[in-house]
């Protein structure tokens, strides 16, 4: 691999052990992935924050790295913690778990991670520019950055993203090269009405299960990122594609900011409404609903709460748990709360957290959610049943 003089010196340890290790990780992963050189990145986003996910060994690594003086060299955000850190969580989990979770967050902040981040929607803190190179982990954020903003990022593992944050560089392969940003197939989903977050989610899960890498998606109606409801549908569609596939990019017709050639697409696959039910593990009911996977901005949250309050399917819901970015204005939360309370539903917010990566048995044995990513991961990671919520 070609390295600049500075990169060689960093790799030789001239600027300290922490930078040497970070550079070594980025260079070796790059070599194994066939990269010819490194490229500077302007924003890294680190995953692997939940204590239920990385465990005591992840905590140990992060604390060791911080102790060895590792510091990020570029703007760096991090994924949400588990809900052990929220006021709800403090009552649900053992004090040791809560403490360990806090130490993970503290170690990351010591290394220079933006303390106001801890969200799976880093675009809310810093919007990516077209063609900008990033080193993001977190599948839902990666697919958004590539597919909507036209930025360039692979779907990094948490450790690689952290190493890239310290080195200020990542390896040039995959999504950083235009030749890989071409459709592998055309997905025809024009027969699906796309009228709910659940429907957009199920479609996304279906697309993810058939795509060969970069789907070109045709929908029944244009989705616009500028419009809150449309944005909610689009973000859930994309996050769900990234749930059942390793796709870092989906080219949604009318959304992707660049011109694309379709000749690379080998086949045309139609998905109709009958195929969506395959991704429902069966109906169930619960008095607890979860929203905010991925994290929503204020407009999206209010829009979803309005739809919940109007929906006939919301009968029986007593409590809505919303995982949110920590910088969401308190006026916004108050408005969401009053929308839901008019329907007799209590809103509980859990800032900077993700419920999907938390053990949820202490909360409820069954949880309603409209989000595809949550429907997929909750039974696997959170240990409870996920019920589809039609909204």
- Residue 110, number of CB atoms within 10 A of its CB: 16
Q: Evaluate whether 274 touches 242 at the Cβ level (below 8 Å).
A: no
**Residue in 10, 25, 186, 375 binding other proteins, rule: CB under 8 A:** 25
Q: Is 53 in the site for other proteins (CB under 8 A)?
A: yes
CB of 278 to other proteins, least distance (A): 22
Q: Which stretch binds other proteins (CB under 8 A): 7-15, 45-53, 202-210, 220-228?
A: 45-53
Closer to other proteins by Cβ: residue 101 or 314: 101
Q: Evaluate whether 376 touches 205 at the Cβ level (below 8 Å).
A: yes
In the region spanning residues 57 to 76, those forming contacts with other proteins, defined by CB under 8 A, are 57-58, 60-61
Q: Which stretch binds other proteins (CB under 8 A): 1-9, 49-57, 221-229, 274-282?
A: 49-57
Spatial separation of the C-alpha atoms in residues 388 and 278, rounded to whole Å: 12
Q: Which stretch binds other proteins (CB under 8 A): 48-56, 92-100, 182-190, 258-266?
A: 48-56
Closer to other proteins by Cβ: residue 88 or 354: 354
CB of 351 to other proteins, least distance (A): 22
| Binding track, positions 184-213, relative to other proteins; x by CB under 8 A | ------------------------------
CB of 163 to other proteins, least distance (A): 7
Q: Is 382 in the site for other proteins (CB under 8 A)?
A: no
**Residue in 158, 204, 294, 370 binding other proteins, rule: CB under 8 A:** 158
Closer to other proteins by Cβ: residue 90 or 177: 177
Q: Is 120 in the site for other proteins (CB under 8 A)?
A: no
List the structure tokens of 313. 């399917």
Size of site (CB under 8 A) for other proteins: 24
Summarize the chain as % helix, strand, coil (round to 5).
45, 15, 40
Q: Nearest-CA neighbor of 151 among 257, 49, 53, 266?
A: 257
Q: Is 159 in the site for other proteins (CB under 8 A)?
A: yes
| Binding track, positions 4-23, relative to other proteins; x by CB under 8 A | -----------------x--
Q: Is 144 in the site for other proteins (CB under 8 A)?
A: no
Q: Nearest-CA neighbor of 151 among 231, 45, 57?
A: 45
**Residue in 55, 69, 254, 365 binding other proteins, rule: CB under 8 A:** 55
Q: Is 356 in the site for other proteins (CB under 8 A)?
A: no
Spatial separation of the C-alpha atoms in residues 138 and 25, rounded to whole Å: 19
Give the burial class of 125: count Cβ atoms within 10 A of its Cβ; 0-12 exposed, 13-18 middle, 19 or more buried.
middle
Q: Which stretch binds other proteins (CB under 8 A): 27-35, 104-112, 301-309, 368-376?
A: 27-35
Q: Is 317 in the site for other proteins (CB under 8 A)?
A: no
Spatial separation of the C-alpha atoms in residues 347 and 327, rounded to whole Å: 17
In the region spanning residues 287 to 306, those forming contacts with other proteins, defined by CB under 8 A, are none
Q: Which stretch binds other proteins (CB under 8 A): 151-159, 226-234, 272-280, 296-304?
A: 151-159
Distance set, CA 91 to CA 65, 83, 88, 97, 357 (Å): 31, 10, 6, 11, 17
**Residue in 8, 17, 32, 129 binding other proteins, rule: CB under 8 A:** 32
Q: Which stretch binds other proteins (CB under 8 A): 30-38, 106-114, 234-242, 250-258?
A: 30-38
The contacts of residue 56 (CB under 8 Å, 6+ apart) are 100
In the region spanning residues 318 to 347, those forming contacts with other proteins, defined by CB under 8 A, are none
The span from the first CA to the last CA of the chain, in angstroms, equals: 50
Spatial separation of the C-alpha atoms in residues 233 and 226, rounded to whole Å: 12
- Token pair 């899960």: residue: 205
**Residue in 11, 29, 66, 148 binding other proteins, rule: CB under 8 A:** 29
Name beta bridge partners: 319.
Answer: 288, 346
Q: Evaluate whether 255 touches 148 at the Cβ level (below 8 Å).
A: yes
Which strand ranges, in their side-by-side order, compose the sheet holding 43-46?
Answer: 75-78, 43-46, 135-136
Bridge-based pairing state of the strands 81-82 and 353-354: parallel
Distance, C-alpha 196 to centroid of its chain:
20
Return residues touching other proteins (CB under 8 A): 21, 24-25, 28-29, 31-33, 47-48, 53-55, 57-58, 60-61, 137, 156-160, 163
């Amino acid at each position: 691999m070609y390295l600049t003089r500075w990169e060689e010196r960093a790799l030789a340890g001239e600027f300290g052990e922490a930078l040497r290790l970070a550079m070594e990780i980025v260079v070796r992963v790059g070599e194994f992935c066939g990269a010819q050189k490194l490229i500077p990145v302007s924003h890294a986003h680190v995953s692997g924050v939940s204590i239920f996910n990385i465990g005591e060994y992840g905590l140990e690594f992060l604390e060791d790295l911080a102790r060895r003086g590792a510091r990020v060299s570029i703007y760096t955000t991090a994924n949400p913690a588990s809900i052990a850190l929220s006021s709800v969580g403090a009552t649900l989990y053992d004090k040791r778990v809560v403490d360990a979770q806090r130490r993970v967050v503290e170690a990351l902040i010591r290394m220079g991670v933006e303390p106001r981040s801890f969200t799976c929607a880093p675009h809310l803190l810093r919007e990516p520019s077209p063609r900008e190179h990033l080193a993001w982990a977190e599948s839902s954020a990666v697919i958004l950055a590539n597919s909507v903003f036209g930025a360039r990022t692979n779907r990094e593992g948490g450790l690689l993203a952290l190493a890239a944050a310290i080195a200020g560089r990542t390896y040039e392969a995959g999504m950083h090269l235009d030749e890989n940003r071409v459709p592998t197939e055309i997905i025809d989903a024009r027969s699906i009405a796309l009228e709910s977050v659940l429907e957009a989610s199920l479609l996304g899960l279906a697309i993810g299960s058939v795509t060969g890498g970069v789907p070109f998606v045709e929908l029944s109606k244009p989705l616009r990122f500028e419009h809150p409801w449309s944005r909610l549908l689009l973000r859930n569609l994309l996050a769900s594609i990234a749930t059942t596939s390793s796709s870092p990019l989906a080219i949604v017709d009318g959304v992707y900011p660049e011109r694309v050639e379709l000749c690379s697409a080998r086949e045309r696959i139609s998905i109709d409404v009958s195929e969506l039910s395959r991704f429902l593990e069966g109906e169930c009911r619960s008095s607890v609903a979860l929203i905010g996977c991925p994290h929503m901005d204020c407009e999206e949250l209010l829009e979803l709460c309005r739809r919940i309050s109007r929906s006939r399917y919301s009968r029986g819901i007593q409590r809505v748990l919303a995982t949110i970015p920590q910088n969401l204005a308190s006026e916004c939360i108050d408005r969401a709360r009053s929308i839901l309370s008019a329907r007799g539903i209590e809103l509980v917010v859990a800032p900077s957290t993700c419920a999907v990566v938390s053990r949820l048995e202490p909360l409820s044995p069954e949880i309603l959610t409209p989000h595809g990513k949550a429907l997929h991961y909750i039974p696997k990671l959170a240990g409870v049943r996920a019920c589809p919520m039609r909204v």
